[in-house]
Amino acid sequence: MKPTIWAILLLACGLAFGQKLQDASANGSPLSLLVKNDHAEMGPYAAARNKSDKAILAMVAIVRATDEKGGVHPCHSYMDYTFKSGGVLAPKEERFASLIKPADAGAKVTSVDGAVLFVQFDDGTIWGDPAAGEKLLAARPQKLAFLQKLVETYYASGEGAFSALLNDGRLGSPEDMLAECLKSDADYRKVPTIEMAKKLMAAAQSWRALGIF
């Protein structure tokens, strides 16, 4: 990743919100960022589009919204499709990356800029700054262990114990984030949460068997 990326982000401005996201990703980025507004309950959000010819397994990006008062709200997007029900991000596919919110509640967002910092392809190769993806990749064994514990708890102690573990806010960041995604995916797909946990666990175990983590 080029060291000038932050300078580019600071200079990106001037486009009316709702028209375009100023993408300051380094040359050769396999992903592009754009603004979408196709879910009324969510509002405008930043999406990532795979413009490469390879499937993407993980990505890290930053999206910044500037409002009419001059406030800037930065949001880092950490997407590990290893633990997503939709699986890898296929070529030409677009998916949610981050919400777009003003720094001051109620203020109008006037411009949005961002950059892709890190990408891991489904063959294990990477693009971008390895340091940007280090935390995301390092959390994989912890997330897989959590899924295994959830499934074991369900069959050993029942649904009540499973739900208590799933909703335990004291678990720590990787587990908490995975728990929220797990519940959200299960609700969206309209399947029991335990079934979603088993599906994600099996997928993660397959990637581990391939040596991806």
Q: Are 178 and 165 in contact (CB under 8 A)?
A: no
- Which CATH fold would you assign to the domain 5-132? Immunoglobulin-like (2.60.40)
> Residue 101, Cβ neighbours under 10 Å: how many?
17
Cα 65 from Cα 88, distance rounded (Å)? 27
- Is the pTM value of this prediction over 0.75? yes
CB-count exposure of residue 19 (10 Å: 0-12, 13-18, 19+): exposed
Task: Classify 24 as helix, strand or coil.
Answer: coil
Find the mean pLDDT for residues 141-147: 97
pLDDT in tens, 160-173: 999 999 999 877 78
Phi/psi-derived region of residue 61, left when phi > 0, alpha when psi is between -120 and 50, beta in every other case: beta
Domain ranges of the chain: 5-132, 140-209
Look up tokens 């890190």; give the residue. 118
pLDDT at 21 > cutoff 90: yes
Cα 68 from Cα 107, distance rounded (Å)? 6
pLDDT in tens, 47-100: 999 999 999 999 999 999 999 999 999 999 999 999 999 999 999 999 999 999
pLDDT band at 3 (very low <50, low <70, confident <90, very high): very low
